[in-house]
Structure 1
Amino acid sequence: MQLHWSPKSPYVRKVMIAAHELGVVDQLALVRSVAAMLKPNPALMAVNPLSKIPALVLDDGSTLWDSVVICEYLNARAHGPLFPSEGPARWQALRWHALGDGMLDALILWRNEREREVPLVNLIAAFELKINAALALLESEVDALAQAPFTIGHLTLVCALGYIDYRFASHCWRGRAPRLAVWFETMAQRTSMKATEPVDG
């Protein structure tokens, strides 16, 4: 399988963490691909018409995107535990997964806006408000996070918090959510997390 990949993308990191957790990293051939919002990549568009990563090319030549679908595919292929099959555990995992993805969506839009020549102050304030609200919710759910088996929800939330560290270091989110910060540091010690930390270059 070929994975169109970048060391900076938090969505790619989701897939790579899942691959490490599931023991399938060695089945992925990484293809370095640039996915810039203002410059669609023709080579990448041949795999994903939206010119977005991650994109996975299967051994039969068919393709899958985005991180949500790819993570679930790898989990199913490996008969893994990242997506509980039924009951309250499934809906809680998917709920945290959706929250983490929503945080990433907001963070990337926030970053794009702040890099504009004339950023919209009200829009940046709205993104910050949403992220702070998500942090407050997660702070109130730390015990549930810590007690639940590791799933796609945990994985995605770690990616979102790690992306704040990577792109919004001045946000100082740990001061707003100290118990969440302790949980995050515990999660960050997992081999899969250490192996996938975002890097420049």
Structure 2
Amino acid sequence: MMRLHWSSRSPFVRKVMVVAHEVGQVGRIERIPTVVALTRQDPDVLARNPLGKIPTLLLEDGGTLYDSVVICEYLDGLGGTPRLFPAAGPARIEALRRQALGNGAMDFLLLWRGELGRAAPDPRILDGFAAKQAAVLAALEAEAAELAAGAFDIGRVAIGCALSYLDFRWPEAGWRAAHPRLAAWHASFAARPSVRATEHVDA
């Protein structure tokens, strides 16, 4: 049995769990509830992952994998034939590009939330995060038709998880009105059994 340092609040952990469901590996993963933050470290995580971050996957042979990019590709390959990571060529590069976009969005959303939690948030930093969010949403609206038409892959997992985290932490954001094609695609993403099984819980 593999063991995953896990939190229902983490978008990167959710990404891993969506992949685990999609590729039929979720039954082989034991979840270890874990809390880490810039001001709070978990010694068990640090002992296996010097970055001190989640997700961290403990393998059956005693090895350790991190971060979500590596863990997701590992899980995808356990069945022999990759399902979410195209093997080579333009399709793989496009999936990895979209994964980078989704991961980057999750990164700045987490940092944005951290900045908002400070006693005196820097308005220049907040404006920068808002500009990045607007740019990401505009870019995704422009390629929403391609997202809807193509095969479900790791890029779509990452983008979908980023948008779902935006909904989780900023339910008042109201991004759908100005991005109707992206909203329609995200509705189809949110309806997938793997996504419904991995809902964020603030607990």
TM band (smaller chain): over 0.9
Return the letter of the residue paired with 2:158: T
- Report what 1:152 is aligned to: 154
In structure 2, how many angstroms separate the alpha carbons of the residues matched to 1:176 and 1:107?
A: 19
C-alpha distance after superposition, 1:143-199 (max 9, x if no partner): 111111000000000100000000111221112211100110011110000000101
Return the letter of the residue paired with 1:5: W
- Report what 1:76 is aligned to: 77
In structure 1, how many angstroms separate the alpha carbons of the residues matched to 2:85 and 2:61?
A: 25
In structure 2, how many angstroms separate the alpha carbons of the residues matched to 1:129 and 1:136?
A: 11
- Report what 2:49 is aligned to: 48
Deviation at 1:3, TM superposition (A): 0.6
Deviation at 1:80, TM superposition (A): 2.8
Return the letter of the residue paired with 1:48: N
Segment of structure 1 superposing worse, 169-178 or 61-70: 169-178
Is the 1:135–1:176 Cα contact (8 Å) retained in structure 2? no
1:193 aligns with 2:160: no
Tell me, what secondary structure is at the counterpart of 1:3?
Answer: strand
Deviation at 1:24, TM superposition (A): 0.5
Return the letter of the residue paired with 1:120: D
Deviation at 1:48, TM superposition (A): 1.2
Q: How many residues align?
A: 201
Matches within 5 A, 1:49-198: 49-78=50-79, 79-198=81-200
Structure 1 residues not aligned, in runs of 5+: none
- Report what 1:23 is aligned to: 24
Q: Taking every aligned residue pair, what percent have the same amino acid on both sides? A: 49
Is the 2:145–2:181 Cα contact (8 Å) retained in structure 1? no
Point out 4+ residue stretches in structure 1 off by more than 6 angstroms.
none
Report the TM-score, using the length of structure 2 for normalisation: 0.97
In structure 2, how many angstroms separate the alpha carbons of the residues matched to 1:49 and 1:92?
A: 30
In structure 1, how many angstroms separate the alpha carbons of the residues matched to 2:138 and 2:178?
A: 7
Structure 1 or 2: more helix by fraction: 1
Return the letter of the residue paired with 1:72: E
In structure 1, how many angstroms separate the alpha carbons of the residues matched to 2:82 and 2:20?
A: 10
Return the letter of the residue paired with 1:184: H
